[in-house]
Amino acid sequence: MTAPASILAALAAHAAEVPDRPLLRFGDLTYSRAGTLHLAAAWASRLRAEGVQPGDRVALFLANSAAFVGAYLGVHLAGAIAVLVNTQYRQVELDHILRDSGAILCVTDSSGERELAALGESHEGAPPDLRCSLVVERDAPRPSLTRRAPLPPLPAADAPAIIAYTSGTTGRSRGAVLLHRNLIANALAVTQAWHWDARDRLLLMLPLFHAHGLCVGIHGTISVGAFADVRPKFDAAEALDTLLNGEPTMFFGVPTMYGRLIAEARARAAAPPGLRLYVSGSAPLGVQTFEEFRALTGQAILERYGMTETIMNCTNPYDGERRPGSVGGPFPGQEARIVDVVTRRPMHDETPGEIQVRGPHVFPGYWRNEGATVEAFDAEGWFNTGDLGWRSADGYFTISGRARELIISGGFNIYPREVEEVLLTHPGIADVAVYGLPDADFGEQVAAAVVRAPGCAVTDDEIVEYCRARLASYKKPRRVSFVADLPRNAMGKVQKHILRERANA
Ligand code: MLC
Ligand code: AMP
């Protein structure tokens, strides 16, 4: 069989082969392969009826549900581009993403609708391209459609499929554009590396609006015609119950989920069973968590490394040593190397530098941001990940830090600059620095050092609430300290390592 050109092409092939085999479950609703394709077709026709044309951007501001997957695949089938939006995003992030992407339609649920309505009432008004929102009930089985509806042509491999907002050294995130061929190349590399096949049953509790849940969990499942039990969100007790019931063969999580699973197992004196595969990613998996999980289950978690622009970069081996603290080597068909951060020359093994990657998994560039795209690649087409690390002589990569300022909390990324910019709009704050501190549950937590405006007595609670009203709640500082001045170097740059040392003292 020739490789499919898109995730939808893989779905169509599996649906033609064994149409009734279960593919996705959301609570009481199970979709077969053919049922998932019909769900996508129903959504595509509904979106077209709303005026969606090929190349249009459609934002998905939705929690995990059949509606999410249906709308997502329907956007692709309509030839449009899905803009992924974290459901925790509030006014500042929403306004930026909807304006920057030029989304004409936003598919959301009732809580998202309230947030969108507030956007329309703000003094800047609704984003100009946004014509309407389509409000869906999470558990609605699917828009009505007869089973005989003709399937529209499948998207071209080179067409854009997703815009996912990420990173950015300024306060504003930028949209990484992923093509259909990037998505399928990633899914095929991942499934091959992890020996994932049609017999697998994945317990998927990750949010679908990020690469981990969507591009690894859902795309992998569809591309091999396996099965995924998709839950609205992660809950340690529910995860342990489900693992113990014996159905799942695989579980994917961020390190916070493994930490909570271990705590739950200890509290109940009930160890998670050995599955075919446990995978961790999106943030560093602590060696202690790896070892504790191995002691409980007898299994080594397979750690892998990815990012929004490239989806999956490196993986520990399926067969062979899963080395704690390391992310293994490039997936099949991909390349990874270390370069000097200044000269950009490739480095010898065991020498630290910046990780670069190249291959069919790598995105072509940022949405309407030529400058950022040019900066992201070198002349030979290597993508600069911004992650620092080194490669061992036997080919294992270890991530040792980040070239860019970034806090990863429970697998969610927080850009200090974005939080600082929002806090600086508070009249009681004269100056502020946001930085990361270690956190036992989330890996890292957000901290803020604040210089009060003269005569103002703003409190830490007010600062937290101010943030929460404007940004995703996970970006709010968990620790606020008040300082007379921020420590700055001769260039005027805030010395965050000094703030970190003071906080840890
Ligand atoms: C939730 N909260 C967090 C948080 N998640 N705070 C800090 N960091 C986080 N990650 C806060 C909420 O804002 C809220 O605060 C309170 O915790 C309760 O919210 P909740 O939704 O009930 O939280 P919880 O269920 O505990 O969520 C924890 C979690 C979740 C670990 C299950 O964060 C999660 O699903 N993380 C996965 C992220 C992910 O999929 N990343 C992949 C990115 S892709 P309050 O004060 O409002 O009550 C990528 C590429 C790659 O990175 O390599 O995969
Ligand atoms: P995002 O841009 O949101 O997709 O986040 C990607 C970032 O998460 C990467 O650039 C890494 O910094 C980090 N990351 C992902 N997986 C791992 C891992 N296994 N270990 C350490 N960091 C990771």
Pocket of ligand 2, beta carbon within 6 A: 166-167, 211, 281-284, 303, 305-308, 327, 385, 387, 399, 402, 408, 413
Query: Separation of 355 CA from ligand 2 center, angstroms?
Result: 12
pLDDT of residue 137: 73
Please give the Cα distance from 455 to 452 (Å, whole number). 8
User: How many CB atoms sit inside 10 A of residue 25's CB?
Assistant: 18
pLDDT of residue 480: 97
Query: Separation of 96 CA from ligand 1 center, angstroms?
Result: 21
Phi, psi angle pair for 152, to nearest 5° = -65, 165
Mean pLDDT over 80-101 rounds to: 97
Domains of the chain, start order: 7-190 (3.40.50.12780), 408-504 (3.30.300.30)
439: tokens are: 């956190």
70: tokens are: 């249906």
397: tokens are: 């990569």
Regarding the beta carbon of 186 and ligand 1, being less than 6 Å apart is answered no
CA nearest to 386, candidates 401, 407, 371: 401
- 118-132, 185-199, 293-307 — which is least confidently predicted? 118-132
Please say whether the beta carbons of 58 and 83 come within 8 A.
yes
16: tokens are: 């033609």
| Most distant CA pair in the chain, distance | 72
Mean pLDDT over 216-233 rounds to: 98
Does pLDDT of 168 surpass 90? no
Task: Name the band, by pLDDT with cuts 50, 70 and 90, for residue 146.
Answer: very low
Atom of ligand 2 nearest to the CA of 413: 3
pLDDT of residue 1: 63
CA nearest to 254, candidates 487, 416, 442: 442
Phi, psi angle pair for 259, to nearest 5° = -60, -45
Regarding the beta carbon of 259 and ligand 1, being less than 6 Å apart is answered no
Regarding the beta carbon of 175 and ligand 1, being less than 6 Å apart is answered no
Please say whether the beta carbons of 42 and 241 come within 8 A.
no
Does pLDDT of 186 surpass 90? yes
Q: Which residue, chain included where needed, has tokens 């040392």?
A: 501
Buried b (16+ CB within 10 A) or exposed e, 150-182: eebebbebebbbbbbbbbbeebbbbbbbbbbbb
Query: Separation of 474 CA from ligand 1 center, angstroms?
Result: 7
Buried b (16+ CB within 10 A) or exposed e, 263-287: ebbeeeeebbeebbbbbbbbbbbbe
Residue nearest to atom 8 of ligand 2 (CA): 282
Please give the Cα distance from 461 to 273 (Å, whole number). 42
Average pLDDT, the chain: 95
Q: How many residues does the chain have?
A: 505
Please say whether the beta carbons of 290 and 303 come within 8 A.
yes
Q: Tens of pLDDT along 314-348?
A: 999 999 999 999 999 999 999 999 999 999 999 99
Q: Tens of pLDDT along 45-75?
A: 999 999 999 999 999 999 999 999 999 999 9
pLDDT of residue 145: 47
pLDDT of residue 123: 77
Query: Across the strands, what pairs with 177?
Result: 163, 365
Mean pLDDT over 26-30 rounds to: 96
Mean pLDDT over 219-232 rounds to: 98
Does pLDDT of 403 surpass 90? no
* Sheet with 383-391, side-by-side order of all strands: 335-339, 353-358, 383-391, 397-402
Task: Name the band, by pLDDT with cuts 50, 70 and 90, for residue 404.
Answer: confident
Task: Name the band, by pLDDT with cuts 50, 70 and 90, for residue 228.
Answer: very high
Atom of ligand 2 nearest to the CA of 385: 10
Does pLDDT of 91 surpass 80? yes
Regarding the beta carbon of 210 and ligand 1, being less than 6 Å apart is answered yes
Query: Separation of 409 CA from ligand 2 center, angstroms?
Result: 11
Please give the Cα distance from 101 to 117 (Å, whole number). 18
Residue 409, CA atoms < 13 Å, CB-side half-sphere: 20
